[in-house]
Amino acid sequence: MYDTVLVAVVGLLVGAVIWTVTDVSYDDPAAGWSKPGPVCPEEGVRVTAGPVNPAMGLRAMDLTLENCGTHAYRVEGYPEVRLLDRDQQHVTGVSVIHGSAGIATVTGFDDPPGAVTLAPGETASAGLLWRNTTTGFDGAVYVRYLTVAARSGSLPLLLTPDGGLDLGTTGRLGVGPWRTAGGTR
């Protein structure tokens, strides 16, 4: 019994340490990105990646934009997404396309974008959509990291989606527009 309790306590402590380390916030302007964490970045917004939702080769993931600042924050259109490999190098051969890019029919994904203004504490989301289809013998694309800028000119935030993005050989990633929780602008 003592061994079981000890293992459980050590596991919880190790988990807490790992959680703390991954939540450290830092900026690296020299690299051109910022890593989200518990501290609100200077721009006053934080972007986080939700879990990947896999369904028979179709994959989807939400990006959440949180106004953690003290002033209203306005975005219009789509997040700027850049794909990086495990060495944080730009992934080539994949088109990042506004809308569903013919990947699947998803309600609201191809609706025209509009302006979204977030008061402090409010959030908006945008979706990512892709297929994990692999055809032929070409290497499948695996994206370990993303950089996401909430709007043009924003400092991109480095995100590490849980499990990464397994894009297969399709060469396409659809990006939906920013929307508030009710789908409004």
pLDDT tens digits, 95-108: 999 999 889 988 88
Following CA atoms 88, 138, 166, 81 in sequence, which dihedral angle do they give, to the nearest 10 degrees?
50
What domain range is 137 assigned to? Answer: 28-180
> 97 has which bridge partners?
174
Q: How many CA atoms lie within 13 A of 146 on its CB side?
A: 28
Q: Does residue 94 belong to any structural domain of this protein?
A: yes
Asked, for residue 20, whether it belongs to a domain, the answer is: no
Tens-binned pLDDT, residue by residue, of the chain (185 aa): 434 333 333 343 333 322 222 333 334 444 555 555 568 998 999 999 999 888 777 999 999 999 999 999 999 999 999 999 999 999 998 999 999 988 998 888 899 999 999 999 999 999 999 998 877 666 788 899 999 999 999 999 999 998 889 988 888 999 999 999 765 44
Q: Give pLDDT, residue 140.
A: 84
Please state the domain count of the chain: 1
Which amino acid type is present at position 145? Y
> What pTM, to 2 d.p., does this model score?
0.76
Whether residue 79 is contained in a domain is answered as yes
Q: Tell me the CATH number at 59.
A: 2.60.40.10
Judge whether 16 and 26 are in contact, CB under 8 Å.
no
Output the DSSP codes for 135-160: -SSSPPEEE-EEEEESSTTSPPEEE-
